Chain A
Amino acid sequence: MADQVPGPRIPTVIADDVHIVYRVNGAKSGKGSATAALSRILKRGEERGVRKVHAVRGVSFTAYRGEAIGLIGSNGSGKSTLLRAIAGLLPPESGKVYTDGQPSLLGVNAALMNDLTGERNVILGGLAMGMSREQVKERYQQIVDFSGINEKGDFITLPMRTYSSGMAARLRFSIAAAKDHDVLMIDEALATGDRRFQKRSEERIRELRKHAGTVFLVSHSNKSIRDTCDRVLWLERGELRLDGPTEEVLKEYEKFTGK
């Protein structure tokens, strides 16, 4: 698909030697007692009592307009972390991410407010994404219908903590998908919800792709990668292992996973 773009290829996302480190407080191995904590504080050193997790190690690539890029790799290989860095939500430790406009991340783990009703969450989520009050009001019904929350009764007026995990994930995705995006990143969103909801989401993603310059898709389903992507990045232990056309990379990946 990238070849169909006439003229020189226009980059939309450039990752330049990106490193991402998570810092976790109080997860340092060793005794968790108060005295151990005290001795750690007293010991000289830079980060005391903090454990670092180096999630992405030196990833570089350039994505071009019109490309659909799949991200694959085993669990914990840094795919979602990399997407967050591209979206500017997680600042890289070193290296830079350059983007065209504001990339958006459609995730299933977009945290919402559990003590508020689904209704409030839809409104707040829309406002936080920068929609105006009128836009939110206009799309409200559409979002609720899309999520299918109200199919089994009036659940939207209940607090989100009463939702099943599938329902909550569906509502989150519906809120995030209600906006149009420039650079779009989809993080395993297709895996949530029942079959009917998956079909609706796939349709919506195809729609969103038409407007978006570049699409990133994280998925553990090789089939949906084959269906939607023309280029694949394979991450393993935070390193970019392979970057190329879908078929080539998937062949190597399937060999690696022993399928």
Chain B
Amino acid sequence: MSAPPSPDEGLTAAQLAAKYGLAVSGARPPVREYVRQLWGRRHFILAFSRAKLTAQYSQAKLGQLWQVATPLLNAFVYFMIFGVLLNASRGMSKDVYIPFLVTGVFVFTFTQSSVMSGVRAISGNLGLVRALHFPRASLPISFALQQLQQLLSSMLVLFAVVIGFGSYPDASWLLIVPVLVLQFCFNTGLALMFARAGAKTPDLAQLMPFVMRTWMYASGVMFSIPVFLADKPQWVANVLQWNPAAIYMDLMRFALIDQYGAENLPEHVWAVAGGWALLFAVGGFLYFWKAEERYGRG
């Protein structure tokens, strides 16, 4: 078989590719196209998050019961240590403090587990990434969605606790929806960011628990920031209260707990909450997209 003389003789590979309209394999699509592809995989994202959620406790005897038992036990431990032993409830009656603590733990856990699963979204699914084609952002988004569903089921426990301590459903409970939407956007952006970082540096999976714990203690999960920092300069309290985790916790407490009024919220709270969500969702998405063609190497 001798090759017939070809008009393509002498062209470089790049010229030949251009002539026949071939594209670089695995190249990163432009943002707009990427969003479109991602939208095309929405069913995959949803199905994947649901599947992961049910698989999470599939090896445990009690199965899905752990979805609510885990956060409840968590809240119980924090209550024993901070509420009973250390008396961190300063300035709050028990009727306020317990719902305050449980709300804080649940809301913070939502962000925490989104970050933790984000770190492992790419590095823990390399097999899938190397085997099939799909916009890689599907994975961290799907994991963030899984955490949202997890939170929704623990919300039932939260409602029971809040009602049990005398805060009954009223109009302010409607605020739960915008708070969750904003926090979900924030979490997704964060998960995307850490997915890229974790793909490059798997060590983050070891490091992040400490970072997250520090963040938790600084965000007033088990104590009220303005009360505890009353003797410190105002700006310290402001900085801590404006950090995204504290903002979303406080808004959720404000929505749920009757006696937790607007005086506990920092200034411009909704603007800050929206700002964090927008900044992280857009920033995290772009940051993740920038390395799209590099996931899977390693």
Contact = CB atoms under 8 A, between A and B. Distances in A.
Interface of A: 2-3, 8-17, 22-23, 25, 60, 62, 84-91, 96-100, 102-105, 107, 109-113, 115-116, 120, 123-125, 127-130, 132-133, 159, 245
A103 B27 CA distance: 13
B10 interface: no
Interface in B38-67: 40-41, 43-44, 47-48, 51-52, 55, 58-59
Contacts of A16: 12-14
Contacts of A89: 26, 129-133, 296
A127 B22 contact: no
A159 B58 contact: yes
A98 B17 contact: yes
Given A9-B6, A25-B202, A129-B133, A88 B25 contact: yes
13 contacts: A14-B16, A62-B16, A91-B293, A96-B17, A96-B24, A98-B14, A98-B24, A100-B21, A115-B59, A124-B51, A128-B134, A128-B138, A159-B58
Nearest to A62: B16
B235 to A, nearest CB: 37
B202 A100 contact: no
B1 A124 contact: no
B14 A85 contact: no
B236 to A, nearest CB: 34
B298 A128 contact: no
Contacts of A103: 25
B297 interface: yes
Interface string B1-23: 10010111000111011001111
B34 to A, nearest CB: 14
A105 B22 CA distance: 18
Given A60-B13, A111-B128, A129-B132, A124 B47 contact: yes
B132 A113 contact: no
B294 interface: yes
B297 A91 contact: yes
Contacts of B20: 10-11, 100
A124 B8 contact: no
Contact of B130 (A2, A84, A113): A84
B233 interface: no
B129 A115 contact: no
A73 B55 CA distance: 40
A22 B298 contact: yes
Nearest to B201: A25
A249 B255 CA distance: 74
B7 A12 contact: no
B127 interface: yes
A59 B51 CA distance: 40
A124 B48 contact: yes
A88 B41 contact: no
B26 to A, nearest CB: 3
A102 B55 CA distance: 32
Contacts of A8: 6-8
Tell me which of A102, A113, A128 has the highest count of chain B C-beta atoms within 10 A of its own C-beta: A128
Nearest to A2: B1
CB-based closest 5 A-B pairs: A111-B127, A88-B26, A16-B13, A98-B17, A110-B131
A96 B128 contact: no
A91 B23 contact: no
